[in-house]
Structure 1
């Protein structure tokens, strides 16, 4: 599915004025166009988009986020963007845009197997910290190029998500060593309202309850 196909589908769905739940699997280049068209679905509160295994880069990820930021009633969002070409400013641009989804409380982002480095991870975390109503976050960034600095920066940024209570964070198969793991743990300890944490580093998974 290309740009015109996805945009046309979105424009058609925009006429479904009472649509509240939507799950779509589409191709690569139509991502931004579809998102822009879905803005007209004024009652949309739950959205799942499958965009994995395509050629979406920084521009496409940021554009999709900017479009979805106008879905003012969106409260539950799942974006599957793994196995694409997102790096540089794509992840932080997506996060910054989603911060404008003022009613967003549940967010699941799969951005594994992309091209994210330290700055990208920290930038995404800083952006998501502005999602003031976010309480449940699942973030899978495994299989990127994130190192110690990125892991620590991501943790420090997420510590500013003041309403975050449930966090699942997967950073496996990156370049995170002992220093990064320690920095991440110390930073997440400052998440004042966090009660449930699932953390995966390398091939190990840690689950903490009642933090």
Structure 2
């Protein structure tokens, strides 16, 4: 069976779509001003996409912060069939708390096998990077991980 790819670049259009029917989904909100209220609405809608297996989400530069990143992870944890995930969250000021929270929530995505995270320029330090890594270690089915953590400051790990 061929899965139809659904693409959205408008938050309201996505929220009013048939959320349960989505299996392969691309959401690009890079050029869409969502704000804190919009991020919350996006998370609520994604939590209802329980049949999704592949998701690409671009929220670059939306300033979702730590709460938004953690909320996004929690919403995705409801997507029990999610196996392939690409999150473009660069320039969102999620910090250490958001990185750790996102990782902890994604660790609950039990079928996740392929994960790509673009978290560059998010003020993530050693604590956040370590928290993210420790949490993702619990993704027992994860076989492919691509992680971009480039920051303006240097992340230093004690050896």
Q: Shorter-chain-normalised TM-score: which range?
A: 0.7 to 0.9
Note the aligned Cα RMSD (angstroms).
2.0
Match of 1:164 among 112, 137, 142: 112
Give the match for residue 113 of structure 1. 61
CA contact (8 A) 2:19 2:45 kept: no
Mapped to 1, the partners of 2:149 and 2:126 lie a distance apart of 10
Shift in Å, 1:65: 4.0
Deviation for aligned residue 1:87: 3.4
Matching of residue 152 in structure 1 with residue 100 in structure 2: yes
Give per-residue Cα distances to partners, 1:127-180, cap 9 Å, x unaligned: 011011111000010011111000000000000011111100010011111111
2:24 is matched with which residue?
Answer: 76
* 8 A Cα contact 2:103 2:136, kept in partner: yes
> Which residue in 2 is equivalent to 1:49?
8
Q: Does 1:67 align with 2:16?
A: yes
Extract unaligned runs of 5+ from structure 2.
Answer: 152-159
Residues 50 and 93 (structure 1), Cα distance of their counterparts in 2 relative to 1, 3 Å cut: closer
Alignment partner of 2:79 out of 131, 138, 142: 131
Residue 202 (structure 1) aligns with: 150
Superposed counterparts of 1:76-115, under 5 Å? 76-115=24-63
Q: Which residue of 2 aligns with 1:28?
A: none
Scaled by the length of structure 1, the TM-score of the pair is 0.65
Q: Does the alignment pair 1:177 with 2:136? A: no
Q: Is the 8 Å Cα contact of residues 96 and 129 (structure 2) preserved in structure 1?
A: yes
Counterpart secondary structure, 2:21: coil
Structure 1 residue matching 2:105: 3-state secondary structure: helix
The alignment covers a number of residue pairs equal to 150
Structure 1 runs (4+) greater than 6 angstroms displaced = none
- With CA pairs under 8 Å and 6+ residues apart, which has the higher RCO, 1 or 2? 2
Give a deviation string over 1:79-106, Cα, whole Å, max 9, x none: 1111433332433431331232232111
Residue aligned with 1:162, SS = coil
